[in-house]
Structure 1
């Protein structure tokens, strides 16, 4: 069974998109807060992620850091906005769905390279992988767009006193995690599209008839 470029594109785009999803989930720069009071936040800049808040401070330093204070979110902080907790859950789901999509695509490629001509088996792997990619992209799109909306509207967060954070910044902007997440959405969506469109090629590809000798 011949292998077209759509298969390779789906695998490469899905791999890069999944990697970017994990990067976006792990870094703290989702929202960048610029604050006027630099007594505690020495640099005047604080980073609000989906797992914790961090800023440069010479007054309060977290263990393991030289000049940085970080405070992790807990499930009991009712003041933390819903979009942050939604991002935690949805990005974990997206990472898992993307991994399943990669696994399905790898199995499909393996069957093609091994010369397995069972189209039903191969198309099932591409179908499953394509849906996993699309579902993963939607799981990333929701928290990324939701948090970007909060940033553009300069929404405040009533942090508890233990965070040493003001309730609202002077100015806030989108951090690196948001554009990385947007790129991950695009790549995973393209990967899913290529995987699903490849089904048409496989299903309607003329079957190779065995040669007969009389």
Structure 2
């Protein structure tokens, strides 16, 4: 069905709102899978730098093989053998919750956009879709902001209890420097994009409400003329 210019502009705004939702979802997945939540440098020739994520640590370890120094990539799952700090433990749950909510938003937002495209007259259902999407985006933005801010503050300005297992090749006591990574700005960007998308969805609920109030007046029957 062809759209007029005003309807096309309105449809484009809906599309932009959904695009921001997909963008926030992609950022959230990248954030959860990142191994750079902490970048620690150590006074060690064996493992100079360790990249620590929410679920896994990554580092390059040097081995002496037949008189030659070989540097190999190593992975270590953050499990019960680690001393897991509160900001990591709760951060895992908050990031998973945020990404789950954004996934739900993609479903409701895509369904609402499809219904608007084919002009299905269900304004109450459309409002419900956009309200749920906006609410979940606000909650996910809060979860992401809390997680990245908490981890950043504890890492640089507090004293984290996170520690390596006994089988780890180095100890935390030789830590000499903490490096700033992209995780904190990426987290704030993810939260901001989520809020922008939520604001656009909230605007959609108001426009649909106004449309549903005006619609009956437009299609109402004309009074009969007296003969």
- Please report the TM-score for the alignment, with normalisation by the length of structure 2: 0.82
1:148 to 149, 152, 155: 152
The separation in 1 between residues aligned to 2:32 and 2:148, in whole angstroms, is 10
**Structure 2 equivalent of residue 106 of structure 1:** 110
1:153 Cα offset (Å): 1.7
Matching of residue 58 in structure 1 with residue 62 in structure 2: yes
Greater strand content: 2
CA drift of 1:117 comes to 2.2
Does the aligned pair in 1 maintain the 2:11–2:117 contact within 8 Å?
A: no
Q: Secondary structure at the match of 1:159?
A: coil
Aligned equivalent of 2:28: 21
Question: 1:159: Cα distance to partner?
Answer: 1.8
Unaligned runs of 5+ in 2: 65-70
* Structure 2 contact 87–150 (Cα < 8 Å) conserved: yes
Quote the offset at 1:8 in angstroms.
2.1
Mapped to 2, the partners of 1:71 and 1:104 lie a distance apart of 37
Flag the structure with larger Rg. Answer: 2
Give distance in 1, aligned partners of 2:215 and 2:156: 54
Q: CA deviation at 1:148?
A: 0.8
Cα deviation, 1:123-145, whole Å, max 9, x if unaligned, reads: 11111111111111112111111
Residues 7-16 or 78-87, more deviating: 78-87
Matched, 1:73 2:78: yes
More helix by share: 2
Tell me, what secondary structure is at the counterpart of 2:62? coil
The answer on whether the counterparts of 1:151 and 1:174 sit within 8 Å (CA) in structure 2 is no
Counterpart of 1:94 in structure 2 is: 98
Equivalent residue number for residue 63 of structure 1: none
What is the distance in 2 between the residues matched to 1:77 and 1:174? 26
Counterpart pick for 2:207 among 190, 201, 206: 201
